[in-house]
């Protein structure tokens, strides 16, 4: 059923998700102005198809900016409303008032004069917030206490070098610190960019720092230097056991120290990374070790990491935290080989291949079967989904992979190159690769059995007494098909403890070595003889 023009337009209007879209934030330099453009505020793309003019889209400012104002670019008059044509022509701009802030915003309500039904539909969601990013200029440098805190603990007569760990100075206007910045110190007066040492004689020293003269009322911070004896005692150090390529939590049950001052722990791992989950300066050290070694076979069963505890400016002796790696064992269960019974292809499923790992199990998509030697009489294929929803087969060659997930979903297929008339034994060799270790070289057997009407092969064991001979008959070795029974047999490997003798049409006899041939006619005429000793024939 075809829709009329009005019905089609009404259907298209129903597909409108929102009236306007917010683009990138408005970029404004501090104390300056910037024009509001279409990339900050743009209309829905289908508005021209509905006959909507740019002047029909009106924006009402319901909540103005707090650190500036919106005004006309031509005469500077404040604006409370504008239309989309003003945005496209850049007739309005935002001017910052110079306050110390990094962002601002204002809210607008959108209405479309030519589409009242759209206004009714979006009456509860037609208010948008336009964000403004303010780039600071000419701000004074800032000063704060470093990560080591406001207390510096020193032994009597010792000294330390003041660094950014004790005192931080930065400027929002510049990424790099200028060497000309200086902090005024009550008792130590020097530039922080030079080497400043603090020496204590046992008494409590107070250092007052404040910002430069650019601020009207400069704020100050205080560092205290004390000389209290620090006691650091080891509580628990049990080490940690974990499988390769895994993570474990180091808790207070594994590692803990006791001190009369807040302390921090530093662990230097040899085969992994120590990641602090949080820094709460408690007596517990919680960290996570992530093993990043690629080849798990090169790991030792145990490694040790250096551990040191810092209390204020005092460090403990070096401790050793042991990590014991649990070997990962992988098993590949080949429950049954792939059997092709009178068919040229078969699916490899979990009944054929099943891989597991212990003690850490991995997801199925991380258990990779890496092909080292592909099949000789056929090829491996993996079923993939095409873009149109159909499925197609992609070849899996040497050095290619398929996963346990592919096996479980029955996506791996073996297909013969051509149909054979005899039993075919094929195989492919592979290694199972996991995120931790890889397995030894494994082999998967594939057997093809032709149909009963295709070929008939008779191959029975021939019994020969010591020192005697025995004829090969059609009850011992015979080959025939539905349309032929005359075949030529080529001797590939001759007998080890005897000889194979064939007769000729004129009554002569000759030995068959590797590469020699005899026919089905020779078998029927009893011309093929196996002898235990050669001197009993000729």
Grade residue 295 by pLDDT with cuts at 50, 70 and 90: very low
pLDDT of residue 3: 36
Question: Looking at domain 142-226, which CATH architecture does it have?
Answer: Sandwich (2.60)
Long-range residue pairs from 49-52, CB within 8 A, at least 24 positions apart, any chain: 49/12, 50/9, 50/12, 50/13, 50/114, 50/115, 51/114, 52/112, 52/114, 52/115
pLDDT of residue 346: 94
Grade residue 164 by pLDDT with cuts at 50, 70 and 90: confident
Q: Is the pLDDT of residue 185 over 60?
A: no
The pTM (predicted TM-score) of the whole model is: 0.41
Residues 6+ apart with CB under 8 A from 381: 393, 394, 395, 396, 412, 413, 414, 415
Q: Is the pLDDT of residue 522 over 50?
A: yes
Grade residue 177 by pLDDT with cuts at 50, 70 and 90: very low
Please check whether residue 503 is in contact with residue 474, taking contact to mean a CB–CB distance below 8 angstroms: no
Higher pLDDT, 315 or 256: 256
Summarize the confidence of residues 124-132 as an average pLDDT: 86
| Helix residue ranges per DSSP H, 213-313 | none
Percent of the chain with pLDDT over 70: 74
Residue 26: how many other CB atoms lie within 10 Å: 23
CA-only gyration radius of the chain, Å: 43
Higher pLDDT, 108 or 191: 108
Q: Which of 356, 242, 249 is nearest to 296 (CA)?
A: 242
- Tell the burial category of 308 from Cβ atoms under 10 Å away from its Cβ (0-12, 13-18, 19+): middle
pLDDT of residue 136: 82
Please check whether residue 312 is in contact with residue 150, taking contact to mean a CB–CB distance below 8 angstroms: no
* Mean per-residue pLDDT of the chain: 77
Residues 6+ apart with CB under 8 A from 195: 161
pLDDT of residue 408: 94
For the ranges 184-193, 338-347, 415-424, 443-452, the one whose mean pLDDT is highest = 338-347
Q: Is the pLDDT of residue 21 over 80?
A: yes
229-245 pLDDT, tens digit per residue, is: 777 888 888 888 887 76
pLDDT of residue 118: 78
Grade residue 531 by pLDDT with cuts at 50, 70 and 90: confident
pLDDT of residue 194: 45
Long-range residue pairs from 32-36, CB within 8 A, at least 24 positions apart, any chain: 32/95, 32/96, 33/93, 33/94, 33/95, 33/96, 34/93, 34/94, 35/73, 35/90, 35/92, 35/93, 36/70, 36/87, 36/90, 36/92, 36/93, 36/94, 36/130
Q: Is the pLDDT of residue 370 over 90?
A: yes
Grade residue 313 by pLDDT with cuts at 50, 70 and 90: low
pLDDT of residue 190: 44
Summarize the confidence of residues 165-176 as an average pLDDT: 67
pLDDT of residue 431: 95
When mean pLDDT is compared across 17-26, 143-152, 526-535, the lowest value belongs to 526-535
416-459 pLDDT, tens digit per residue, is: 998 887 788 999 999 999 988 889 999 999 999 887 666 677 88
- Tell the burial category of 251 from Cβ atoms under 10 Å away from its Cβ (0-12, 13-18, 19+): middle
Query: How many Cα atoms within 13 Å fall on the side-chain side of residue 360?
Result: 19
pLDDT of residue 374: 95
CATH of domain 5-135: 2.60.40
Q: Is the pLDDT of residue 222 over 50?
A: yes
252-277 pLDDT, tens digit per residue, is: 888 888 877 655 555 555 555 555 55
Give the span between the Cα atoms of 297 and 308, in whole angstroms.
Answer: 30
Residue 416 to residues 346, 410, 536: CA-CA distances in angstroms? 9, 18, 46
Give the span between the Cα atoms of 196 and 190, in whole angstroms.
Answer: 7
pLDDT of residue 293: 38
Q: Under DSSP, is residue 141 helix (H, G, I), strand (E, B) or coil?
A: coil
Summarize the confidence of residues 520-533 as an average pLDDT: 80
Q: Measure CA 50 to chain center.
A: 46
Residue with tokens 């199972």, as numbered in its chain: 432
488-514 pLDDT, tens digit per residue, is: 888 888 888 888 888 877 777 888 888
Give the span between the Cα atoms of 26 and 357, in whole angstroms.
Answer: 55
Residue 472: how many other CB atoms lie within 10 Å: 21
Please name every residue paired with 255 in a beta bridge, in sequence order, or none if there are none.
237
The answer regarding whether domain 329-449 maps to CATH 1.20.120 reads no
pLDDT of residue 191: 41
Residues 6+ apart with CB under 8 A from 123: none
Q: Is the pLDDT of residue 219 over 80?
A: no
pLDDT of residue 7: 42
Residue 108: how many other CB atoms lie within 10 Å: 21
């Amino acid at each position: 059923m075809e829709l009329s023009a009005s019905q089609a337009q009404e259907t298209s209007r129903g597909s409108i998700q929102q009236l306007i879209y917010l683009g990138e934030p408005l970029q404004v330099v501090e104390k300056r102005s910037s024009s509001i453009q279409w990339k900050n505020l743009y209309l829905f793309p289908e508005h021209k198809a509905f006959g909507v003019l740019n002047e029909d889209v009106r924006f009402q400012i319901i909540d103005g900016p707090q650190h500036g104002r919106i005004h006309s670019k031509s005469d500077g008059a404040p604006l409370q409303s504008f239309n989309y044509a003003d945005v496209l022509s850049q007739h309005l701009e935002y001017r910052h008032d110079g306050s110390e802030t990094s962002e601002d915003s204002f809210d607008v309500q959108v209405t479309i004069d030519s589409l009242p039904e759209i206004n009714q539909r979006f009456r509860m969601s037609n208010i948008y917030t336009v964000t403004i990013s303010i780039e600071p200029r000419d701000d004074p440098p800032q000063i704060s206490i470093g990560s080591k805190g406001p207390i510096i603990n020193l032994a009597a007569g010792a000294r330390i070098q003041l660094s950014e760990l004790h005192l931080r100075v930065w400027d929002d206007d510049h990424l790099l610190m200028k060497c000309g910045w200086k902090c005024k110190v009550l008792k130590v007066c020097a530039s922080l960019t030079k080497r400043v040492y603090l020496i204590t004689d046992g008494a409590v020293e107070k250092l007052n720092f404040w910002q430069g003269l650019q601020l009207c009322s400069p704020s100050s911070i205080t560092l205290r230097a004390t000389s209290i004896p620090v006691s650091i005692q080891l509580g628990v150090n049990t080490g940690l056991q974990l499988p390769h390529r895994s993570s474990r939590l180091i808790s207070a049950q594994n590692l803990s120290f006791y001190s009369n001052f807040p302390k921090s722990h530093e662990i230097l791992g040899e085969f992994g990374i120590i990641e602090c989950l949080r820094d709460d300066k408690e007596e517990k050290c919680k960290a996570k070790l992530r093993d990043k070694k690629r080849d798990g076979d090169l790991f030792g069963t145990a490694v040790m990491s250096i551990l040191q505890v810092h209390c204020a400016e005092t460090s403990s002796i070096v401790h050793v935290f042991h990590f014991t790696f649990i070997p990962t064992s992988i098993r590949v269960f080949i429950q049954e080989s792939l059997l092709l019974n009178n068919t040229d292809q078969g699916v490899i499923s979990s009944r054929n291949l099943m891989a597991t790992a212990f003690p850490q199990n991995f997801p199925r998509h991380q258990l990779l079967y890496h092909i080292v030697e592909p099949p000789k009489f056929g090829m491996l294929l993996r079923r993939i989904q095409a873009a149109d929803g159909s499925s197609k087969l992609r070849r899996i060659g040497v050095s290619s992979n398929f996963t346990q997930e592919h096996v479980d979903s029955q996506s791996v297929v073996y297909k013969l190159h051509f149909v054979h008339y005899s039993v075919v034994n094929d195989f492919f060799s592979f290694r199972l690769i996991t995120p931790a270790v890889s397995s030894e070289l494994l082999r998967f057997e594939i057997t093809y059995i032709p149909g009963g009407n295709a070929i008939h092969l008779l191959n029975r064991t021939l019994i020969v007494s010591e020192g005697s001979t025995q004829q090969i008959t059609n009850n011992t070795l015979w080959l025939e098909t539905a349309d032929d029974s005359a075949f030529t047999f080529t001797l590939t490997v001759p007998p080890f403890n005897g000889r194979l003798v064939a007769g000729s049409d004129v009554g002569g006899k000759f030995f068959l070595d590797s590469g020699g041939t005899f026919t089905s006619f020779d078998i029927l005429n009893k011309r093929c003889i196996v002898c235990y000793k050669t001197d009993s024939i000729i």
